[in-house]
Amino acid sequence: MLCISAPAKVNLHLHILGKTENGYHILDSLVCFTDFGDTLTFEEDKMFSLNIVGEFANLLQSHDLAGQNLIEKSVREFENATNIKVNLRMTLNKNIPLGGGLGGGSSDAAATLNALQRIYKTDINLEKITAKLGSDITACLNAPRPVIMRSTGNDISPAPVLPQKTPAVLVNAGQHCATPEIYRTLKMHEFSKSVTFPDRFDAIDSLSDFINTHTRNDLYAPALKAEPSLTKTIDIIKQQTGCLLTRLSGSGATCFGIFETEDMAQQAASQIKTTHPEWWVVQTTLLS
């Protein structure tokens, strides 16, 4: 049996640089991964099957038509590319909320492809598969290493050297933002520019200062139009002691805060859970 993690993705920034002729948005984003996420197990069997368990299992199953989730699509694309029949019993422990901007489906798909490559000992170029499946999945192949994601999501380069462990808190107040709808409602009078990063950030505060000063999330405005209460979530994270940076991740609706220390992040998560027990709150670490 093989057990692997599919970490949650956090976009520290997300700039829209333009659109391609066929309508895809051109992106520029520093993508980090956390020590929190989904887990997948793989066991040999006589045929392929996928069992979904965990906090968000029922919600995922109700949203997905049979055979249409990204894990199953990834398996089919792997089979087509390798002529290998995947006979595995897979179990997905679904901990990452749906429609949260944390790349749960993309991370699951990437973890699945990495696992199949390992199990069947192939050397195919997985990026050729991920390019067919979704813009975040190629970046997620590199998890847990942070990357710079550009173009339509398939141009991946190494991120600057980041602090070894950056304390963070993820918060979702129960909203769901559908990524295609957020992009459809995006209206930009002037596209953003690509970010030039220094080679390294030795401290959490220097990373946070740079992100705050030189970057933004261009999807925040359309996400806010869809979910106006996002401002409350952002404000509550920002009010916590030791918070250095607060942003919406990806297209939302999960927001995150970066904190000076792990203790401050733990205290913030506890405080937010106490005052808003109905919210989804996780204290985690951004990995370098």
Residues marked active site are found at 9, 136
In eight-state DSSP terms, residue 101 is S
Q: How far is it, in rounded angstroms, from Cα 60 to Cα 36? A: 18
The residues pairing with 25 across neighbouring beta strands, listed in sequence order, are 19
For residues 88 and 50, what is the distance between their CA atoms, to the nearest angstrom? 8
Residue 183 CA to its chain's centroid (Å): 16
Q: Is the dihedral of CA 42, 45, 46, 47 positive or negative?
A: negative
Nearest to 253 by CA among 136, 172, 199: 172
| Cα four-point dihedral sign 177, 179, 183, 185 | negative
Nearest one of 254, 279, 237, 103 to 177, comparing CA atoms: 254
How far apart are the C-alpha atoms of 151 and 20, rounded to whole Å?
9
Q: Is 12 helix (H, G, I), strand (E, B) or coil?
A: strand
